Amino acid sequence: MNPKAKLRDLRTEQQNAASAALDTMSALEIARVINREDHKVAAAVEHALPQIAQAIDAIADAIRSGGRLIYVGAGTSGRLAALDAAECPPTFNTDPTTVQHVIAGGNKALGHADEYSEDSSASGRKDMAKRKPGKKDVVVGVAASGRTPYTLGAMEHACKKRAKTVALVCNSGSPMGALADIEIVIDVGPEAVSGSTRMKAGSAQKMALNLLTTGAMARLGYIYGNLMVNVHTRNHKLMERGLNVLEKAAGVDRQTASKTLDVADNQVAIALIMLKTGLSRTQACKRLKSVKGNVREAIAQGHLK
């Protein structure tokens, strides 16, 4: 597709024949039509897995080297990216600065639509400049169209500062894709409500964002097996989750898990290392720090000492 193609020519803007009479349907018929369209999302994401894998490795390498993942987007895309960034610290115990978001209109746009702000590439460049991206960082631009001026401006600044760039888009041949080091195209086709990219495109973006951060954190060892060993235990539910993780991963009873977690100052990863290696809390903390937070490596090296 020509990067200068008009909005009406984009795949995500086409009219969907399957839902052409949506306003004449019963509630169940509407739900069925939209659900049939939603079935196409996972398959579209599957086609993009090789490129998603490239981005996962790039993000893991960046964080391992002390860099950051910086998301940028506008509207639905920006809000989804902000959500993914916000959920990384409580899920993976990352520093809040490690995964960041930049959204057109600022944080007020998270709860209130602010579409006019997405038309300014200068604002995108200015907002990204405030984050001071560099060669250690990965900047992921998220836009269904692949041509949002704000997001393009932000990515242009990131490229200028030699950050690694990723375009997460739903249309091929986009300006963002042409600019980025890695282009992830998730072609979900026309929406059930024409142009409403909060629907299939938004679902595809959410799935891809989950893959990017979860994949990178797994590569970094912030997950043990498939267990959330870095979960914050800040309420009753999360404390129970942490105890369940210790019981499963260390093969201990609830009493032992609870006692060790208490000694570990409620840090599940530290408690697990203590249980698996016999190290003290102080030793476990040092061990985990020495391997940059990789829980499996900390346990393996703990056994060697």
- Cα separation, 291 vs 296, in Å, equals 9
**What string of H, E and C letters represents the secondary structure of 16-62?**
CHHHCCHHHCCHHHHHHHHHHHHHHHHHHHHHCHHHHHHHHHHHHHH
Residue 187: partners with Cβ closer than 8 Å, 6 or more residues away: 11, 44, 47, 170, 171, 172
| Residue 163 DSSP code | -
On whether the CB atoms of residues 43 and 203 are closer than 8 A, the answer is no
- For 151, the enclosing helix (H) or strand (E) is helix 149-160
* Residue 29 annotated in active site: no
Strand 99-103: give its sheet, edge to edge. 99-103, 69-73, 138-142, 164-169, 182-185
Q: Catalytic pick from 37, 118, 156, 191?
A: 118
Q: Catalytic pick from 13, 87, 247, 297?
A: 87
- Cα separation, 153 vs 240, in Å, equals 45
Going by C-alpha positions, the residue among 83, 23, 63 that lies closest to residue 208 is 83
Find the radius of gyration of the CA atoms of the chain.
Answer: 22
* Residue 118 annotated in active site: yes
- For 101, the enclosing helix (H) or strand (E) is strand 99-103
Read off the tokens for 223: 């997950």
Catalytic positions: 87, 118
